[in-house]
Structure 1
């Protein structure tokens, strides 16, 4: 199986793994979770952040849900994945990648897809508040000035 953060090179084993169905049930040809440094010609080729990721050493099944997974099993699996993430030296880089993409599936940077949606909504709300505050401040300076 492929790891959530795929390496840049495709070994014969990795090439054979591409033929396996994805853990999240999507077809192999569909866009999947990949690190921005994971593709040919992408930035950070010399030392991509994901090379030190703890999930590269663990079972990918922890990070992506199988088809029709029962809720209790999903919660347990996600908790195990988060424990791996908690000891990961690149947790923040992974999380920011997943938020910037945004990654729609799996546990990335210690957050589930639902948790990432909440973070993104909060960020959008906060950015809106900051823009409004800047607009009001600019208007007040014009009036005072």
Structure 2
């Protein structure tokens, strides 16, 4: 049962990474970032405002890569720590842009990633310790790893 749970959680982390890759693609396709307030006329934007969208795209790619490594190597503490840090930074980005700086409106494009990130963060903080993944001997870890 424990092995099925960890495989299901790996699938969840991969899903969140896929969502981040979608955010990255969307950040490069659309003219403006969804982390900016809605303006009716897109022609009002200056080139500097596209920078937010491109930075969000690169950040999403980096976060997706961190989560993909976390999916594959969940049995290593430093990799899980990297995934946890990327999730915390992402949650901080969405909250600060929405609540503190008021640069974005609180809507689906802010709430959905935050909910995904909080659920994933809770899982990464709880499941490896609950399943005692890190207490397994190194030779057994290699057998559990996805190749």
Higher helix share: 2
Q: TM-score, normalised by structure 2?
A: 0.28
Greater C-alpha radius of gyration: 1
Q: TM-score, normalised by structure 1?
A: 0.28
